[in-house]
Structure 1
């Protein structure tokens, strides 16, 4: 799947995980990948099961019921250098890179798999979090086999 540069956002700051998830959803909606209703489903999905994946990444995506809100597969990559807490104050889970995903059918599974392989190496996550340009983010993610 092609990465769209307009869906890559560098140097973002969020007060809460909900704000971060809504930002990702709005980017997907603005690009025409999803209806606005998908954003609420992304919030709901995180309440059911955290979208925090470890290694400083979170992958906000909608519930299965929200698949009807997806027009086309898309991914937004949001860099959060200061991090955003997807855990609790007592058990923080800080994400510095967010991958907001919408997938038609099972297309998103392949996307998540690629991200998981790339981000399994925490050095790769650090490179993404430190990337200075959208081109650098695309090059890093396209380096995955």
Structure 2
């Protein structure tokens, strides 16, 4: 994964949220504050969640914008947020790992495929949730080719 897509600045560990909306806004703000998207993208992330849940199983959610949100993407990037206590995404689906995506053009497809590979292994999710540093999380994603 390209070095500027996931950086220590877009990783936050050991967070806690009262709602999925709060968790999605926080994840989107990481993307916004690091120059990947403008503020409109966060609204589109929340809109996407209303249409269909971004919960993927294995305690993972991948919040991202709607198709209309593409114009709000300035640069391809991802944000990773760990929530050890979990946040309820509805229907009893608990999320402990949020991976926010902003993809320019079709770049999000490649990123999604790498995230899917990482998150298909439960041990990788455990490693991310128990990571001692942001660099450790980056290295897990960088191992996927």
- Confirm whether residue 18 of structure 1 aligns to residue 21 of structure 2: yes
With structure 1 as the length reference, what TM-score do the two structures score? Answer: 0.95
SS at match of 1:72: coil
Deviation at 1:77, TM superposition (A): 0.5
SS at match of 1:14: coil
- Confirm whether residue 35 of structure 1 aligns to residue 23 of structure 2: no
The CA RMSD over aligned residues, in Å, is: 0.8
User: Which residue of structure 2 lines up, in the alignment, with residue 80 of structure 1?
Assistant: 83
Q: Distance in 1 between matches of 2:109 and 2:57?
A: 18
Which runs of at least 4 in structure 1 moved beyond 4 Å after TM superposition? Answer: none
Task: Return 5+ residue gaps in structure 2 as ranges.
Answer: none
User: Which residue of structure 1 lines up, in the alignment, with residue 111 of structure 2?
Assistant: 111
- Confirm whether residue 125 of structure 1 aligns to residue 125 of structure 2: yes
Q: Distance in 1 between matches of 2:140 and 2:71?
A: 31
Q: How does 1:56-75 map to 2 (within 5 A)?
A: 56-75=59-78
Query: Number of residues paired by the alignment?
Result: 142
Q: Distance in 2 between matches of 1:138 and 1:35?
A: 24
- Confirm whether residue 98 of structure 1 aligns to residue 98 of structure 2: yes
Deviation at 1:139, TM superposition (A): 1.2
With structure 2 as the length reference, what TM-score do the two structures score? Answer: 0.95
